[in-house]
Amino acid sequence: MSKVLLELIDVQKTYGTGENEVHALRGASLQVKAGELVAIMGASGSGKSTLLTIAGGLEVPTTGDVRIIDNSLPTLKPAQLATLRRQTIGYVFQDFNLIPSLTVIENVALPLELDGVKVRKARKAALDALESMDIGELADRFPDEISGGQRQRVAIARSFVGPRQVLLADEPTGALDSKTSEAVIRALRKRIDAGIAGVLVTHDAKLAAWADRILVIRDGQIVEEISNTITPEQFGA
């Protein structure tokens, strides 16, 4: 039995108050084990990014608990949370979130360097991650000197470096063509299979099909789970 690395327990998230109140999440619960990839699908505005930012400790739930390995995120001190985020959680943002004044390789190596890993070693790990995304040759460019799809792959490479145990990806292939998307999901799946817990938000059913389970979210609630259990059915010749 694999260990549960990420757990959301009855998480609610309300933005704003009174007239402007938005119930982005209405009691979402979720467990992800080591080696398991869970995909989240749902319409625009259904709460997918909210769920992921809360799972990654970027937002605090209004009520409910978020547990990563043996930590309850809402109870951590800011410094402890920052360390956990840097060391344990790989996060791919929907809008990439690269630092414009750092080169591609510096962006990817940053979390390691902040943790005191020697620059040479951090750069080596960053280059490996970039090469796994097939963009090693872009290492010394700045984010505004590469294409949107390349920026997206830098963001994914950044989430791969270091001993991350939880990988959270928000539309990680939104800017990629289908061949590159497949390369990315294969690489992601390989990381997960090595014992990481992953959550993937996507609109692309082809991508979601690589997950062990697909959760469908509607109006802030998980309304359905589709597990990958059946054997392939015979397709028409």
Ligand X SMILES: Nc1ncnc2c1ncn2[C@@H]1O[C@H](COP(=O)(O)OP(=O)(O)OP(=O)(O)O)[C@@H](O)[C@H]1O
What is the contact surface with other proteins in residues (CB under 8 A)?
Answer: 189, 204-206, 208-210, 214, 224, 226, 228, 230-236
- The CB-of-121 to other proteins minimum distance in angstroms stands at 31
Note whether 57 and 217 are within 8 A (CB). no
Identify which of 186, 126, 185 has the alpha carbon closest to the alpha carbon of residue 160.
Answer: 126
Which CB atom, from 94 or from 180, has the smaller least distance to ligand X? 94
Q: Closest CB to Mg ion belongs to which residue? A: 49
Which CB atom, from 49 or from 103, has the smaller least distance to Mg ion? 49
Q: For strand 166-170 and strand 221-227, is the pairing parallel, antiparallel, or unpaired?
A: unpaired
In b/e form, how buried is each residue of 189-199, taking b as 16+ CB within 10 angstroms? bebbeeebbbb
- The CB-of-214 to ligand X minimum distance in angstroms stands at 15
Identify which of 105, 134, 136, 135 has the alpha carbon closest to the alpha carbon of residue 119.
Answer: 105
Contact code string over 41-80 relative to ligand X, x by CB under 6 A: -x-xxxxxxx------------------------------
Which CB atom, from 48 or from 123, has the smaller least distance to ligand X? 48
Helices 119-132 and 104-114: crossing angle in degrees, nearest 10, is 130
- The CB-of-216 to Mg ion minimum distance in angstroms stands at 15
Candidates 40-48, 85-93, 129-137, 181-189; binding stretch for ligand X (CB under 6 A): 40-48
Counting Cβ atoms within 10 Å, is residue 159 exposed (0-12), middle (13-18) or buried (19+)?
A: buried
Identify which of 70, 47, 44 has the alpha carbon closest to the alpha carbon of residue 59.
Answer: 47
Note whether 64 and 11 are within 8 A (CB). yes
Candidates 27-35, 39-47, 78-86, 123-131; binding stretch for ligand X (CB under 6 A): 39-47
β-bridge partners, 53: none
Backbone torsion region of residue 27, taken as left when φ is above 0, otherwise alpha when ψ lies between -120 and 50, otherwise beta: left
Identified binder of ligand X from the candidate list 10, 16, 72, 140, rule CB under 6 A: 16
- The CB-of-153 to ligand X minimum distance in angstroms stands at 20
- The CB-of-230 to other proteins minimum distance in angstroms stands at 5
Note whether 210 and 192 are within 8 A (CB). no
Q: Does 49 engage in binding with Mg ion (CB under 5 A)?
A: yes
- The CB-of-42 to Mg ion minimum distance in angstroms stands at 9
List interacting residues with Mg ion (CB under 5 A). 49
Binding residues for ligand X (CB under 6 A): 15-16, 22, 24, 42, 44-50, 94
